[in-house]
Amino acid sequence: IMGNPVRQVYNPALHATVAAFIKLTGWNAPQSYHFVTTSIYCLGPVTLFWWLYRGSRRHGLAFLAGLIYSLVSPATPLDHSILRDVGSYFSPHRLQTLITYGEGPHITDLTLIPLAIWLLHEAATLRRWKYLPFAVFGVALIVLTNWTGTTGFTMALAAYVLATFGARARGEQPLHWPSFIAIGILAYTVAAP
């Protein structure tokens, strides 16, 4: 893929999940892959809703964002090659990439990113320590699923960190840097093997 060996772009987490599902259900590989990736695809708007609701406490806003995320792609008006590929401004690009290109790992990371940032927020900003192992696992799982998704997560994480600056001035809890760094180190030790 663009000069990168496939094994370095598509890491094993989704494929290991599909293999475990095969053992659990006895289904064949295509059935299991389709069931797992379709389930993850359906959870994408749910995790976005959850993340926005937990951050804003506004049901309507979170629901609207999840609905828009389900129906359209913000990339379509920005890139004419995507528009040509999808066919319409109002076509669900995530669904098209899953069905046409088999991008289960990338769709998985798009589903996991809001969840991982929420877990990081709970553990490293609100200092709810029971979320610490889940935050570590969430970050590691993104890295173990897809490198391009990891790049997107890094950008989202940078935006989150920038948004936390000035938290004290707004009367909010600031990011606890030792916890944040510890989560990153622990996630690396989980993902590295």
CB contact at 8 A, 143 and 150: yes
- Structure tokens belonging to residue 189: 């030790």
- The pLDDT tens digits for 100-113 are 888 899 999 999 99
- Are 125 and 173 in contact by the 8 Å Cβ rule? The answer is yes
pLDDT category of residue 76 using cuts at 50, 70 and 90: confident
pLDDT band (50, 70, 90) for residue 18: very high
Tokens matching residue 184: 């990153």
Q: What DSSP character marks residue 174?
A: P
Query: Residue 32 has which token pair?
Result: 């299991």
pLDDT band at 1, cuts 50/70/90? low
Please determine, for residue 5, whether its predicted confidence score (pLDDT) is greater than 70.
no
Residue-level pLDDT at 52: 93
Cα(153)–Cα(148) distance, integer angstroms: 9
Q: What gap in Å lies between CA 91 and CA 73, rounded to an integer?
A: 7
Q: Token digits for 181?
A: 């760094």
pLDDT digits (tens, 9 = 90+) for 134-163: 999 999 999 999 888 999 999 999 999 998
Output the pLDDT for position 158: 95
